[in-house]
Amino acid sequence: MPSIFAGILLLALVVFAPSTARADVPTGDVAALVASDRAEVERAIESLSASHDPRALAILSALLEGSLRVDSRGNAFAAREGGALEPLNPAAPRPDGPVRAAEVDNRLRRLLEPAIAAMRLRSDDRDVRLSAATELARAGAGDLAKVIERALAQEADDDVREKLALALAPVDLESTDTARRLRALAAIKAAADPAFRTSVQRLLEKDERGEYRERNAEVRRAASSALSAIELHALWFGLLGHLFYGVSLGSVLLLAALGLAITFGLMRVINMAHGELLLVGAYSTFVVQQLFQKHLPAYADYYLLFAIPVGFLAAMAMGMLLERTVLRFLYGRPLETLLATWGISLILIQTVRLVFGAQNVTVANPSFLSGGIELTPEFVLTYSRIAVIAFSAVVVAFVWFMLQRTPLGLNVRAVTQNREMAAGMGISTRRVDLWTFGIGSGVAGLGGVALSQLGNVGPELGQGYIVDSFMVVVLGGVGKLAGTLAAALGLGIVNKLLEPVAGAVLGKIAILVFLILFIQRRPQGIFALKGRAAEVS
């Protein structure tokens, strides 16, 4: 019972405190926050919550977080990582004497949360008020309805008022006051928050006699308008979400197919082990992560920067070994290359199972790739997918530069267009084959590095992308970088747009049917290959 009366008294002091309340922070109140007597701590919280000094807000926030430390003179500090103490009073930069930690239990938290919310809502800083109102709009008014109502009555900023009205909306919708219900519906319409869809739809329901349960026609019109705004908002952000995920999927397909487009366009090798080159890159990333966690834990977040060249070189070495030991003896026989590389893919999968186990392994995102940009509660631009899109753009630029601005690229283009003429001009076609296959395999390894940041890594990882990779290569045009880029992004976006409508399976079938019809009309793909090689396929 005392805690209930203390809470009521605290709310009364916070809500009805006059604007001329003292603006200083008494050190006696701060010292009382670490007292063993709970009644004294509650009295100190009540006193500090009536202050307009920003330091009081910082002190109570630190108390709620459990980081508050108080020295022998009553000066407050916040404990940070590594044991450092941040002074909350600029006049006392260093603690004087022993430092005591404040203890917080659930009863104190119930007192602190409304006090801090009220202090932030009456702050002179508009950004502080807007931040507090935004948090309350997400969490709902709860027990702070009276605090928010008073703040709304005194607030002049339109943005803050909109957020406060949205925070009160769940309470106002249950009210019998028509004005409050209309205010709630206006706030919901302005925010177009999908979280209120069910509540608004309830106002438009009919009973068994076909009559509206909501008798007030003005409320029904406002509810209908709010529901339309919510549906339109959900439609647009849903479309943006599908486009974003489609571009990220297209980026993954691009990384998976880019190396295949180079090697298939040059050597006409049907490399069914290309997916396992993705696997090499993904498991290389896992190994680098494990090494950093074991030997360099302080720098574990930077493992990905080292995994990129390791994944590229590991897959490149594997591809060059494959070319030298198997493929060089099978040029000109595409069916034999298909069977041979399919067998190699099975060998690589089983090798991974023996070395790393049959279960998936987890490659953790670095801290700088964790989280995302929340545009709506349903639509978050995750940093990992943004990074994959940017990484794909960098890899495409690297491949373009290699093909267009280097002697190797010149030789690759020459051999691709007319192998016999290039050999007659003194170009070592065997060496070009080796390095091209190695670079194409390395690009596949980079795709594996990117895939490791989007999900778990397992022995079957490559099998899920080999068919899609060939689809991208055939649709874009064999050996054409621009075609591969267009086909990968196009297939990724179309796939994500079809999934909500037709489902994953039917969407994939629709894409395959489209691909079959497209190839019948244009066998050379989106971009036709130029030169003598275009006639050989």
d(CA 60, CA 173): 33
Report how far residue 464's alpha carbon sits from residue 478's, in angstroms, rounded to the nearest whole number: 21
Beta bridge partners of 179: none
In this prediction, residue 154 carries a pLDDT of 76
> Hey, is 372 helix, strand or coil?
strand
What is the 3-state composition of the chain as percent helix, strand, coil, each rounded to the nearest 5?
A: 70, 5, 25
Distance between CA atoms of residues 514 and 329, nearest Å: 36
Closest Cα to residue 381, out of 237, 508, 284?
237
CATH number for the domain running over 242-535: 1.10.3470
Bridge partners, 374 (sequence order): 380
pLDDT digits (tens, 9 = 90+) for 153-206: 777 777 788 777 777 777 777 777 788 888 888 888 887 877 778 888 888 877
Cα 405 to chain centroid, rounded: 35
Q: Please give the single-letter amino acid code of residue 413.
A: R
SS3 101: strand
Residue 266 confidence (pLDDT): 65
Pick the closest to residue 194 from 62, 376, 364, 43 (CA basis).
Answer: 376
For residue 372, what are the β-bridge partners?
382
Q: What three-state secondary structure class fits 382?
A: strand
Dist. CA 361–CA 524, nearest whole Å = 40
Q: State in Å, rounded, how far the first CA of the chain is from the last one.
A: 87
What gap in Å lies between CA 294 and CA 531, rounded to an integer? 53
Given this model, what pLDDT does residue 1 score? 44
**pLDDT value for 195:** 75
Contact 360, 353 (CB under 8 A): no
Chain mean pLDDT for the chain: 80
Which pLDDT does position 229 carry in this prediction?
A: 87
Domain extent listing, the chain: 2-122, 146-205+216-234, 242-535
Q: Give residues with Cβ within 8 angstroms of 237, minimum separation 6.
A: 375, 376, 378, 379
- Unique residue bearing structure tokens 């099975």: 346
Is 264:473 a contact under the CB 8 Å cutoff? Answer: yes
Residue 309: its pLDDT value, please? 93
Question: Running along the chain, 537 residues long, what does each successive block of 10 average in pLDDT?
Answer: 43 41 56 77 77 75 80 80 76 78 77 74 76 71 70 77 78 78 83 79 78 80 86 84 87 84 74 89 93 88 91 93 87 83 91 89 86 76 89 89 86 80 85 87 90 86 83 77 83 83 79 84 70 45
What pTM, to 2 d.p., does this model score? 0.69
Task: Enumerate helices (H) and strands (E) in the chain, giving the number of each.
Answer: 21, 6
Instruction: Give the per-residue pLDDT at 24.
Output: 52
Q: Using CA atoms, how far apart are residues 329 and 315, in angstroms rounded to an integer? A: 21
pLDDT value of position 280: 92
Identify the CA nearest to 457 among candidates 470, 447, 466, 472.
447
Alpha-carbon gap, residue 77 to 34, rounded angstroms: 12
DSSP state of 85: E
Residues 424-482: tens digit of each pLDDT? 888 888 888 888 888 889 998 998 999 888 888 888 888 878 888 888 888 887 666 77
Sequence-ordered strand ranges (E) for 362-467: 372-376, 379-382
